[in-house]
């Protein structure tokens, strides 16, 4: 399935340049490239500009405010003028906006004007958000929130809660974003603000969409749509319809997707929103492509392309050209697409491929300029296929190489994103636990007070005896808690390295680390599948457990961190989470110990007439990223090209040998005797220098 072109919501994770965020009473479509600091986002807050300027916009409004400013007295009106400049500068010069905001805040503080303080902090939050200084943005929004709450202004409180939620959404902190949206929703429901309710529901739907929880996302988008249809907010209705269409496209329910996209398109055409029409046409074209209707796909995509040219919408234009290029590619290489090939190219495959290349080349230029890595990866992959079919194998190789580079970048970014989400989930869960514990403590104190009064009424002796009972319970519970904590710590250390576990306990999260130099080890049993068929399930599990238990002891002996096991593969790494200068030597020593153990173990099994496993071991050294992944069953993991290369060292090795890369060899050649194997072909790596470690006799 081809992912949608530029969308109103966060797209399928294959090709996603855009999000829609709803602020205040309206919405903004924000470019969301991989490099978040390039994001220019827009917040819509309650207007704080005086009525005299209400009809002016943009530079005209700024000029009016600047003209009025020198004549303003040092009062609340000047605060409003400065705050208005702060707000209106955010799209064109946020630094200037911050300058005026700081002046406004200083005067508001001097006048001790709480309302002005709240509004100016909100506007400063906007400017810092545009600069991608999210910590400063949150800082100012929180001051604004607290002040609005103190003033009892529920409408502004709800708006600020949404804006804080938007910052957390942009930084993929979904638990906190959801928390703020739900609090805003509660207030909007209290004051019966229908537009505000729909806004919150739409943003909550986006959170679930980003997490691929499509059913939950669909529920919230449908609820928002129902309210917006009642209120009659056509822009919001169109956005909800598009969001729902994207969900159905993701679930491959193409007729439903087209129904919602078509309804959104009607509204956008009625409103004359050119950008919206271009995007929705691209959704319709992409969905038609997904269901094999190439004629309608191209018809809508070309309409979208024409509109996106006139509106200078680069993101949509780049994605649409990529989809068109892919359609022409499919016509050329899929025999079942011969009718379309005949219709559009008179059956000439070369002509179709050449036209595909033109569109893919154009798409790549735009996707590079807009940092659309996922779209870029898709276009490079298609271009590689086109070049190969045209017989230009060097160009095909170059495009495939670029596809691999971009894909690896996306993979690492997605991993980092998951780590961030995991850490934030931990913080969210901790907060919820603390809230629950505080309430339980209050309930316990209340119960204790009631029992205390009863004890007094029943007399000193009975009360004293009851106190003794409570003391006994207290000590028993305390001992249970201590034992439970000890057990929890032990289990945590079984999952995470000690340094990471301590960091997690100390601050509630563990940061991902870029390790400059580490050594990764992979092992694998040769012909595992064939040999395992000779054993019963119980025998197989016992054998694997015995081997892995021995490997675990060896890792502990040499200070190597076990990462995980995947079937019959065992993965470990030296030099993390804390740097260690001997990481390569220690890892090779551990590998040789594993080799020696397996030789002795296999000899015993062969003597007993039992099947045995020969082991391959591969090692590579280099930089990698390490951190916690997962939300519920989290685990410490590593990733990066170093990990991939280590896996290739194992798969390219020989049973009973320790196969190392040149990078590892350079680090251990003074300690080990090694045999240069020459350049060996490794999957996805080409010809790579490899070495067998002969023994560890040089180690003292």
Q: What number is the average pLDDT over the span 646-654?
A: 90
- The DSSP element (H or E) to which 677 belongs, if any, is strand 673-682
State residue 421 phi and psi, 5-degree precision: -60, -40
Q: What number is the average pLDDT over the span 3-31?
A: 33
Which comes out higher in pLDDT, residue 441 or 287? Answer: 287
What's the CA angle centered on 650, arms 646 and 654, to 5 degrees? 150
What's the CA gap between 148 and 261, in Å, rounded?
Answer: 39
What's the CA gap between 37 and 40, in Å, rounded?
Answer: 8
Q: Could you give the 3-state DSSP secondary structure of residue 187? A: helix
pLDDT at position 612, please? Answer: 86
pLDDT at position 458, please? Answer: 55
What's the CA gap between 203 and 27, in Å, rounded?
Answer: 10
pLDDT at position 533, please? Answer: 77
What's the CA gap between 511 and 502, in Å, rounded?
Answer: 12
Contact of 590 with 626, CB cutoff 8 Å? no
Give me the residue label for tokens 């240069």: 676
pLDDT at position 594, please? Answer: 94
**pLDDT tens digits, one per residue of 566-612:** 878 899 999 888 888 899 999 999 999 999 999 999 999 889 888 88
Q: Residues 6 or more apart from 258 whose CB is under 8 A from it?
A: 245, 284, 287, 288
- Range of weakest confidence among 376-385, 428-437, 682-691: 428-437
Chain centre distance of CA 621: 27
What's the CA angle centered on 41, arms 514 and 270, to 5 degrees? 135
State residue 570 phi and psi, 5-degree precision: -125, 135
**pLDDT tens digits, one per residue of 172-190:** 788 889 999 999 999 999 9
State residue 604 phi and psi, 5-degree precision: -65, -40
Report for 91-95, 123-127, 209-213, 399-403: range of highest mean pLDDT: 123-127
**pLDDT tens digits, one per residue of 392-444:** 988 888 888 888 888 777 666 555 555 445 444 544 455 555 555 666 666 66
Q: Could you give the 3-state DSSP secondary structure of residue 135? A: helix
**pLDDT tens digits, one per residue of 449-499:** 666 665 555 554 555 454 455 555 545 555 554 554 454 454 445 556 665
Local confidence band at 564 (pLDDT 50, 70, 90 cut-offs): confident
Contact of 42 with 91, CB cutoff 8 Å? yes
What's the CA angle centered on 636, arms 16 and 686, to 5 degrees? 65
Tokens of 142: 């929180």
What's the CA gap between 607 and 605, in Å, rounded?
Answer: 5
pLDDT at position 437, please? Answer: 62
Helix ranges (H only) for 90-173 are 94-111, 114-130, 134-151, 154-170
Tokens of 447: 């119960």
Exposure string of 32-62, with b = 16+ CB inside 10 Å and e = fewer, is bbbeeeebebbbbbeebbeeebeeeeeeebb
Contact of 367 with 376, CB cutoff 8 Å? yes
CA nearest neighbour of 382 among 314, 457, 456, 327: 327
What's the CA gap between 198 and 465, in Å, rounded?
Answer: 59
Local confidence band at 39 (pLDDT 50, 70, 90 cut-offs): very low
Question: Could you give the percent of the chain with pLDDT greater than 90?
Answer: 47
pLDDT at position 686, please? Answer: 77
pLDDT at position 399, please? Answer: 86
Query: Following DSSP, what letter does each residue of 354-394 receive, concatenated?
Result: HHHHHHHHHHHHHHHHTT-HHHHHHHHHHHHHHHHHTT-HH
Contact of 325 with 359, CB cutoff 8 Å? yes
pLDDT at position 132, please? Answer: 87
Note the pTM of the prediction, 2 decimals: 0.56
pLDDT at position 91, please? Answer: 84
Q: What number is the average pLDDT over the span 328-341?
A: 93
Q: What number is the average pLDDT over the span 101-105?
A: 94
Pairing assessment for the beta strands 673-682 and 561-566 based on DSSP bridges? unpaired
For helices 134-151 and 114-130, the axis angle rounded to 10 degrees is: 160
Give me the residue label for tokens 């946020």: 94
- The DSSP element (H or E) to which 323 belongs, if any, is helix 314-333
The rounded mean pLDDT for the chain is: 80
What's the CA gap between 196 and 399, in Å, rounded?
Answer: 47
Local confidence band at 550 (pLDDT 50, 70, 90 cut-offs): very high
pLDDT at position 371, please? Answer: 77
Q: What number is the average pLDDT over the span 70-91?
A: 90
- Range of weakest confidence among 131-140, 198-207, 417-426: 417-426
Q: Residues 6 or more apart from 99 whose CB is under 8 A from it?
A: none
Which comes out higher in pLDDT, residue 463 or 522? Answer: 522
**pLDDT tens digits, one per residue of 226-255:** 999 999 889 999 999 999 999 999 999 999
Q: What number is the average pLDDT over the span 277-300?
A: 94
Contact of 660 with 691, CB cutoff 8 Å? yes
pLDDT at position 611, please? Answer: 86
Count, residues in the chain: 700
- Per-residue CA distances from 476 to 446, 469, 509, 585 (Å): 21, 11, 31, 49
Q: What share of the chain is helix, strand, coil (3-state, %, to 5)?
A: 70, 10, 20
CA nearest neighbour of 255 among 287, 303, 214: 287
Report for 13-27, 62-76, 156-170, 450-464: range of highest mean pLDDT: 156-170
Tokens of 663: 């990078």
pLDDT at position 434, please? Answer: 55
What's the CA gap between 382 and 26, in Å, rounded?
Answer: 38
Q: What number is the average pLDDT over the span 523-540?
A: 82
Chain centre distance of CA 321: 26
């Amino acid at each position: 399935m081809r992912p949608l072109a530029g969308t109103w919501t966060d797209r399928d994770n294959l090709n996603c340049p855009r999000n829609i965020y709803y602020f205040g009473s309206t919405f903004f479509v924000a470019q969301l490239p991989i490099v978040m600091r390039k994001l220019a986002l827009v917040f819509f807050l309650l207007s704080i500009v005086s009525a005299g300027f209400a009809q002016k916009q943009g530079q005209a409004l700024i000029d009016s405010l600047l003209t009025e400013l020198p004549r303003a007295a040092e009062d609340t009106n000047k605060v409003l003028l400065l705050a208005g400049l702060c707000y209106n500068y955010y799209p064109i010069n946020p630094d200037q906006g911050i300058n005026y905001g700081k002046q406004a805040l200083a005067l508001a503080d001097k006048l001790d004007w709480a309302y002005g303080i709240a509004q100016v902090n909100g506007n400063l939050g906007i400017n810092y958000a545009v600069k991608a200084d999210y910590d400063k943005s949150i800082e100012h929004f929180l001051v604004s929130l607290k002040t609005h709450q103190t003033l009892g202004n529920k409408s502004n409180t709800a708006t600020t809660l949404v804006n804080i939620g938007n910052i957390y959404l942009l930084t993929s902190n979904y638990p906190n974003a959801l928390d703020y949206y739900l609090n805003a929703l509660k207030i909007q429901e209290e004051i019966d603000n229908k537009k505000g309710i729909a806004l919150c529901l739409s943003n909550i739907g986006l959170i679930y969409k980003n997490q691929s929880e499509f059913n939950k996302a669909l529920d919230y988008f449908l609820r928002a749509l129902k309210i917006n249809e009642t209120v009659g907010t056509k822009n919001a209705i169109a956005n909800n319809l598009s969001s729902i269409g994207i969900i159905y496209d993701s679930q491959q329910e193409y007729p439903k997707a087209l129904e919602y996209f078509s309804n959104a398109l009607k509204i956008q055409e009625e409103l004359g929103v050119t950008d919206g029409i271009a995007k929705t046409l691209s959704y319709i074209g992409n969905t038609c492509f997904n269901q094999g209707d190439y004629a309608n796909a191209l018809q809508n995509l070309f309409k979208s392309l024409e509109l996106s040219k006139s509106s200078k919408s680069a993101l949509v234009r780049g994605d649409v050209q990529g989809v068109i290029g892919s359609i022409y590619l499919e016509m050329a290489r899929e025999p079942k697409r011969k009718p379309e090939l005949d219709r559009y190219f008179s059956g000439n495959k070369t002509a179709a491929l050449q036209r595909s290349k033109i569109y893919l080349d154009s798409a790549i230029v735009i996707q590079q300029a807009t940092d659309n890595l996922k779209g870029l990866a898709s276009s490079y992959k298609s271009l590689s296929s086109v070049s190969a079919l045209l017989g230009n194998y060097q160009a095909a190789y170059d495009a495939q190489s670029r596809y691999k580079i971009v894909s690896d970048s996306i993979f690492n970014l997605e991993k980092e994103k998951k780590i961030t989400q995991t850490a934030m989930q931990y913080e969210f869960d901790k907060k919820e636990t603390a809230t629950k514990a505080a309430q339980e403590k209050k309930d316990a104190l209340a119960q204790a007070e009631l029992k205390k009064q009863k004890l007094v009424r029943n007399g000193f002796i009975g009360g004293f005896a009851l106190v003794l009972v409570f003391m006994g319970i207290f000590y028993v519970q305390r001992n249970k808690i201590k034992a439970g904590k000890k057990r929890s710590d032990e289990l945590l250390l079984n999952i995470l390295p000690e340094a990471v576990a301590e960091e997690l306990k100390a601050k509630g999260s563990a940061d991902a680390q870029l390790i400059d130099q580490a050594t990764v080890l992979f092992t694998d049993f040769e012909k595992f599948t064939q040999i395992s068929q000779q054993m019963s399930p119980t025998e197989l599990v016992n054998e694997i457990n015995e081997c892995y238990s021995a490997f675990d002891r060896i890792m502990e002996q040499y200070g190597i961190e076990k990462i995980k096991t995947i079937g019959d593969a065992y993965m470990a790494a030296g030099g993390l989470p804390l740097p260690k200068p001997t990481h390569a030597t220690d890892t090779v020593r551990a590998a040789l110990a594993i080799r020696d153990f397996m030789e002795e173990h296999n000899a015993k099994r062969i003597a007993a007439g039992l099947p045995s496993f020969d082991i391959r071991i591969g090692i590579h050294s280099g930089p990698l990223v390490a951190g916690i992944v997962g939300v519920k069953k989290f685990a410490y993991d590593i990733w990066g090209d170093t990990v991939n290369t280590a896996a290739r060292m194992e798969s390219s090795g020989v049973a009973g040998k320790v196969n190392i890369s040149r990078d590892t060899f350079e680090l251990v050649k003074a300690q080990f005797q090694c045999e240069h194997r020459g350049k060996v072909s490794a999957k996805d790596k080409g010809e790579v220098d490899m070495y067998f470690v002969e023994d560890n006799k040089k180690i003292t």
